[in-house]
Structure 1
Amino acid sequence: MPPASSRDDFLVTRANRDALAMLDAPQGWPQGRLLLVGGAGAGKSHLAGFWADERGAQIVQAWSLTPQGADALVPADGALVIEDGHEIGGNAQAEQGLFHLWNLAGARQCLLLITARSVPRDWGIGLADLRSRLDTAVQALLVPPDDALLPAVLVKLFADRQIQVAPEVIDWLALRMDRDLDLARRLVAAMDRESLADRRAISRRLAAELLDKLAAPDP
């Protein structure tokens, strides 16, 4: 079953409230462009997904961009989402594609939302003209989860898999794991797999075993 991904399913806390407010006020985006920046699992795709649905916008992966395809992607007076902008660094075709798309979006008054795991200066972009344009864009930052968001996300991740977990398991995890939503996603998936494979209940003991494995540093 796919995860619940509507606006109503998005968990709003201090960690993401400001980014959501910026997303909902595109009239305040300089030149109609916004970078949505956050770590893996921070909620970028969820935010971008319902924003795109509400505006009838297409979602395109950054690595797939080409100079030849840019024109067909940019609607006049519409909106467009580019996912995973950080993946274009060193990909000359994708860099040129985003550069053309960026210019076309301005000319056609098309809102442009770009998601990424890091700020543009860390993408390794070789095209200087694109790098300078990205550096001028306003950024909406998704910060690490706060005390309210992490347990709420754990509950949602289990619910997406139609699993009910005792509150004490959620509380135990929230107190002991890093505030890392990607780790939360991987941990819930691993607990689901282990529970089904070994016919074990999802318990604090299982949570502890898998948390130790997934949080351990690479050798």
Structure 2
Amino acid sequence: MSTQFRLPLTAAPTYAREDFAVSPSNADAVARVEAWPAWPEGRLALIGPAGVGKTHLARAWAAAHDAVVVEATGDDAPDLPALRGKAILVEDADRRAEGTALSDEALFHILNMAGVDGGTVLLTGRAAPVGWAANVPDLRSRLNALCVASIEAPDDVVLEAVLRRAFEHRLLKPDPDLYPYLLLRLPRSAAEAIAAADLLDEAAAQMRRELNKALAREVLGDFEGDEEG
């Protein structure tokens, strides 16, 4: 008996601005990002919990302004002289200790480039910059002074958009009524929504089932709230 292997079909993630769902949970952050180039001293920190759309919004800004992207958790140190006068996106700036790409000294120099020769810097992180680790005193003062744009936990508009992107990324087309069903039961967390999409994707493939409410009811029992609430 032959075994049928499931091919890992996924669409590449896109960060198109028109695909970013704006709602009361993120409207202020969107307005602050799109106020560029009128950021105080040419710097802005975009913060929020995992999965709320920081990368999507930041990458859309980077694409619109031809920004150089620096992955703070990566291994490749930025070419600092080449960044002078550029728009720069520093992703996961609060997690730079997880990689070797961005030292405190390098981040300090990048922040100092903002406002010089047209340079500007957008940083993303999970919490406010005042809480980011910094062993260089001058960097500490720069981080404390950053203007902050905060994305809150997702509301229904954003959560549905997260679910739709998660299913589209997996090339899945669930029944339309699955979305309101999930929105009534999932925690207000983009990470939980993505985890639910992963579970449903796997279950639908293994059980050869349609992606609908019946499957969700079986698979996501731990997520469900009051059926009549």
TM-score range for the pair, normalised by the shorter chain length: 0.7 to 0.9
- Which of 125, 131, 135 does residue 116 from structure 1 map onto? 125
Length, aligned pairs only: 213
Q: Tell me the amino acid that sits aligned with residue 144 of structure 1.
A: A
Residue segments in structure 1 that go unaligned for 5+ positions in a row: none
Structure 2: distance between partners of 1:186 and 1:6: 23
Distance 1:207 1:127, change over 3 A: farther
Structure 2: distance between partners of 1:96 and 1:65: 15
* Contact 2:75–2:99 under 8 Å retained in 1: no
What CA RMSD, in Å, does the superposition of the two structures yield over aligned residues?
Answer: 2.5
Q: Give 4+ residue runs of structure 1 displaced > 6 Å after superposition.
A: 65-68
Structure 1: distance between partners of 2:57 and 2:200: 26
- Provide the secondary structure at the position in 2 that maps to 1:63: coil
Distance 1:147 1:68, change over 3 A: closer
Distance 1:101 1:213, change over 3 A: same
Percent identical pairs in the alignment equals 34
| Segment of structure 1 superposing worse, 91-100 or 17-26 | 91-100
How far did residue 191 of structure 1 move?
Answer: 1.4
- Provide the secondary structure at the position in 2 that maps to 1:27: coil
Structure 2: distance between partners of 1:142 and 1:2: 24
- Which of the two has higher C-alpha Rg? 2
- In the TM superposition, what are the counterparts of 1:7-46 in structure 2 within 5 Å? 7-46=17-56
How far did residue 64 of structure 1 move?
Answer: 4.1
| Segment of structure 1 superposing worse, 60-69 or 20-29 | 60-69
Bigger helix fraction: 1
Residue segments in structure 2 that go unaligned for 5+ positions in a row: 1-10, 225-229
Q: Does 1:152 align with 2:175?
A: no
Q: Which deviations, in whole Å up to 9, do the C-alpha atoms of 1:28-64 show, x marking residues without a partner?
A: 3110000000111111111111111111111111134
Structure 2: distance between partners of 1:166 and 1:201: 8
